[in-house]
Amino acid sequence: MYHLDVINQMSGTRLRNYILPGLDSVLLEQGKLRLFESSRDTEEFIVPHSHRFDFACLVLEGVVTNKKYVPVSHEEAFADMYTMTTLKYEGQPGSYSPQTSCENKRFRVNTHAYQQGDWYSMSYEEIHSISFRRNTKVLFLEGPERSTKTVILEPFVNGKKVPTFKVEEWMFQI
Residue 40's alpha-carbon distances to 58, 60, 64, 86, in angstroms, are 19, 16, 12, 31
42 located within any domain: yes
- Range of weakest confidence among 11-25, 100-114, 143-157: 11-25
**Residue-range definition of the domain harbouring residue 109:** 32-161
Give pLDDT tens digits for 75-97: 777 799 999 999 998 888 888 88
- Please report the pLDDT score of residue 167 as a whole number: 80
Please tell me the pTM assigned to this model. 0.88
Query: Domain containing 109 — which CATH number?
Result: 2.60.120
Which residues on neighbouring strands pair with residue 84, listed in sequence order? 103, 153
Q: Please check whether residue 153 lies inside any domain of the structure.
A: yes
| β-pair partners for 165 | none
In this structure, is residue 169 part of a structural domain? Answer: no
Q: What pLDDT is stored for residue 44 in this prediction?
A: 86
In the chain, the amino acid numbered 74 is H
In a domain, 135, yes or no: yes
How many structural domains are present in the chain? 1
More confident residue, 141 or 25: 141
Predicted confidence at residue 1, as pLDDT, reads: 60
Q: Which residue has the higher pLDDT, 67 or 102?
A: 67
More confident residue, 131 or 174: 131
In a domain, 86, yes or no: yes
Highest mean pLDDT among 39-48, 92-101, 116-125: 116-125
Would residue 22 count as lying in a domain? no
Q: Is 151 within 8 Å of 124 (Cβ atoms)?
A: no
Percentage of the chain beyond pLDDT 90 is: 63
**6: in domain:** no
